[in-house]
Structure 1
Amino acid sequence: MSLAINQTALEIGEAEGKIGQLENGISTHKNALARYLKIIYENDQKNLTEVILNNDSLSAFFSDLDGIRTTQDKLTVSVSEMKRLKSDISVQKEELEDKKFDMERLKKLQEIEKRTVDGNKKQKDGVLKETNGKETKFQELVKKSQKDIAAIRDQIGYLIQNGVSAEEAVKYGQLAAIRVGIRPAFLIAILEIESGLGRNVGTGNWMDDMYNCYLRLGKSSRAETEKNAFLAIIGKLGLNADTVKVSREPNYGCGGALGPAQFLPSTWLAYEEEVARLTGHNPPNPWSIEDAFMASASKLVKGGAASKDKAGETAAAKAYISGNPKCTKTICNSYARMVLQKAVAIEQNL
């Protein structure tokens, strides 16, 4: 994970360097633009008679006219180039924001990874202590506790922090996964990692952490889309928009994700009909554990998790975090790897 973070840090540095170069280019063109405008302005102050009299010959006069025409052409080119540079800067800044957001998530994944390792060590140490270090008894106890809910509890600390008990995770995880045809352990692993990433689950307000956040980032269209979707969901459920909690705005990006599945409002609406069909809840509720698990399961099926193999689940995990099952970004690879590792640990206890 440290390598992934270092790589992303390098990419952020490169993006910042490109933005600096583009800004220098704009500054250069601004200076040139000022010079060209000054020349054109000064020539505009002269009438034709004055221009002719200031030249010793007709050839000099026409040379002056050519100079003015050339200056005007340069002005046009400079304006076009500035527009292009500004467009490039806009793209680079958006990419930079994405990379900073990825960095934030990678750091959280690193925390999750450390917590998982520490939890596994604690669990094994506890078992060894109970068996006085005797390998035979250790193996017997491990086998005996394959379905031990306490072991599951150790694996889903973030879900539990967000109000989902181990019993509920197992119950609704198996129910949703079996219904759509994916591995329950994979579904629970996704939701656990998402809960770890969305450390601000249920502590934000839709107006401040979602709508106004997108406006601050200059994404007015996205702001309106998510606002309208959120209000539509709230309206169907008969809830008060100002008291319902969503994820809080993180250091980079915006909040507004709903419930255990951490779907943005527009994403939830896209799966609402399918969740209603599978659960019989109409309308489904993103804050309901059962509905949230079913929504996540439906999204994972769409990403390829029904294959129940490494390739399909890797693609599904990448699609879950990025929308692209073929994503090659560092955050996608790290996320998919961690989800599959978590699924292995959970499946041992299901």
Structure 2
Amino acid sequence: MSKFLTFFIALSLAMPLSVTVAQSSCTSETAGKSRAQLEQELEACNREIAQWQETLNKTREVSASYSRDVALLTAKINAAQANIKAKNNQIASLGKDIAAKQSKINVLDSRIDRGRRAIADILRKTNDINSYSLVEAVLSDKDLSEFFVDMDTYTSTEEALSELFAELRTVKKLTESEKAALAKKREQEAANKAAMEAAKKEVEISQAEKKTLLAVSQNKEKTYAQIVAERQANAAKIRAVLFPLVDAGAIPFGTALQYAETASRATGVRPALILGVLQQESDLGANVGRCIITDLSTGQTKNVNTGYVWQNGIHPTRDLPLLQNILNKLGRDPLNTRVSCPIAGVPGYGGAMGPTQFIPSTWNLIAGKISAATGKTTPDPWNPADAIMAAAILLAGNGATTQDWTNERTAACKYYSGQTCYKTVYNSKTGKYEVVANVGLSYGNKVMSRATTIQTTMIDPLQNL
């Protein structure tokens, strides 16, 4: 049986490789290649990723053994390496797009500059003609026919001016459109570079784990049964680790994972990403501080630890009425329920609710979806299961269902700020538009880092038993 199992795993690993060699040209070499070639290679890389993912899924179904575990790690490494090649191709392709867009923008900018100069020249000529008074026309050395020639020039000048203004508006609108497209390409380039770095780290972790496993197997330091027993003991510890939640105490990680897996099945968002957001919000909540409402008409709140009073505790018209409505339905005391305090030195309000820190107006927008997913008429923002489902629904709406690193980070940035991770600003010194970090980028990066740690150190060990 052991020989058959080893043969099966070896065969399952060999098949994707043979297909890849025969049909694809997924490489990390991008220099000197056309966009069409890069697109073909990207398709090949995506096929390779799918092949290794299929191998990974099939291998998980095989009974646990040294061979199976090595095969799992091999497939995982190869899938990640193919993903790196794919991102590299995308970055090279985007680089070509960016160069083409910049060239087009330069041409359009030149047209605008020429148009402005032409308008200035026409305005000067128009002003010269307008400077004629009736007396000057009569007393002028010019005869009457020459004067009327100038008037004809005036009419044609006005027509030319009108046409130039129209053209300038069109070119300017086209230029702004091209600059917006350029900014989008640069955002994609920055995101792909970050995703590639994340994939490289994943490869490093898996290679180290594979090396350790092979060494243990070859040196026969432990039987596989001993390895499994150690993993099961570690899994029990992982499940029992307390997962801190804002305003909801702490729950065992095993319970939090169950809630996240339920939310994942309902929305398509990865459990690790959901828990990464949950962990980040818990840390933010601890840093920002917890408040209670002290005035139900103005939204004034007070920090429960320091006693500091916030006049901008909660938005008085957008969020306060909705919060009171939610609390009334749940039977909670509005003057004794904790919400987030405002962030000191940052414009805005506090008032975020529960473990996933929803402001009432955002919670209200997706309340129907939360009810449908949980089966509850009145979902509770302070209930961990409901809060986790709500976070997954919002992340799904933000584009995290693709489970692609770039889209997941964008979804996390939007979760925090309602905006993407990057924004485009005009640099007056260079006269060009530049892509810079948006307010939520740091949050998005931290969420993705937490999600990776949760996946590799907590979820994967539970799956590889």
- Scaled by the length of structure 2, the TM-score of the pair is 0.44
1:13 and 2:96 correspond: no
Correspondence 1:25 to 2:111: yes
- Residue equivalent to 1:239: 340
CA distance in 2 between counterparts of 1:274 and 1:244 reads: 34
User: Aligned in 2, Cα 1:11/1:137: closer, same or farther, shift over 3 Å?
Assistant: farther
- Structure 2 counterpart of 1:297, from 385, 389, 392: 392
Would you tell me which structure has more helix in proportion to its own residues? Answer: 1
Alpha-carbon deviations, 1:7-27, whole Å to 9, x = none? 223333333333322222221
Please give the per-residue CA displacement for 1:37-89, whole angstroms capped at 9, x wherever unaligned: 1001000111245447554453x444332211111111112222222333333
Q: 1:346 to 1:125 in 2, by over 3 A?
A: same
Deviation at 1:190, TM superposition (A): 4.2
Q: Determine if contact 2:137/2:147 at 8 Å carries over to the other structure.
A: yes
Q: What secondary structure, in the 3-state scheme, does the structure 1 residue paired with 2:340 have?
A: coil
Cα pair 2:267 2:392 within 8 Å, conserved: no
Alignment of 1:215-234 (within 5 A): 232=319
Aligned 8 A contact 1:169 1:188 in 2: no
Question: Please, which runs of 5 or more residues in structure 2 have no aligned partner?
Answer: 1-86, 245-250, 289-313, 324-337, 347-352, 415-447
Partner of 2:271: 188
Q: Which consecutive residues of structure 1, in runs of 5 or more, have no partner in the other structure?
A: 154-158, 161-166, 206-226, 246-257, 306-311, 324-334
Say which of 161, 168, 178 aligns to 2:262.
178
CA drift at 1:114: 1.0
- Structure 1 residues 138-180: Cα deviation after superposition (integer angstroms, max 9, x where no partner): 6995799599649999xxxxx99xxxxxx96653343244357
SS of corresponding position for 2:132: coil
Report if aligned partners of 1:272, 1:283 keep a CA contact under 8 Å in 2: no
Distance 1:193 1:5, change over 3 A: farther
Alpha-carbon distance change, 321 to 77 in structure 1, aligned in 2, over 3 angstroms: same
Q: Does 1:69 align with 2:151?
A: no
| Distance in 1, Cα, partners of 2:277 & 2:92 | 22
Measure the CA separation in 2 of the matches of 1:145 and 1:28.
72
SS in structure 1 at match of 2:218: coil
Q: Classify 1:180/1:119 alpha carbon distance in 2 versus 1 (closer, same or farther; 3 Å).
A: closer
Q: By how many angstroms is 1:113 displaced?
A: 0.4
Considering only CA atoms, is the larger Rg found in Structure 1 or Structure 2?
2
Q: Could you say which residue in structure 2 is the equivalent of 1:123?
A: 209
> Could you say which residue in structure 2 is the equivalent of 1:34?
120
- The change in CA–CA distance for 1:137 and 1:119 in structure 2 (over 3 A counts) is same
User: Contact 1:112 / 1:193 at 8 angstroms: preserved in 2?
Assistant: no
Q: Distance in 1 between matches of 2:192 and 2:233?
A: 31
CA distance in 1, matches of 2:361, 2:105: 32
- Aligned CA distance change for structure 1 residues 239 and 202 (closer, same or farther; 3 Å): closer
- Indicate how the Cα distance of structure 1 residues 24 and 88 shifts in structure 2: closer, same or farther if over 3 A, else same: same
User: Matched residue of 2:160: which SS?
Assistant: helix
% same residue: 21
- Judging by fraction of residues, say which structure has more strand: 2
Distance (whole Å) between structure 2 residues aligned to residue 168 and residue 10 of structure 1: 49
Alignment: residue pair count: 280
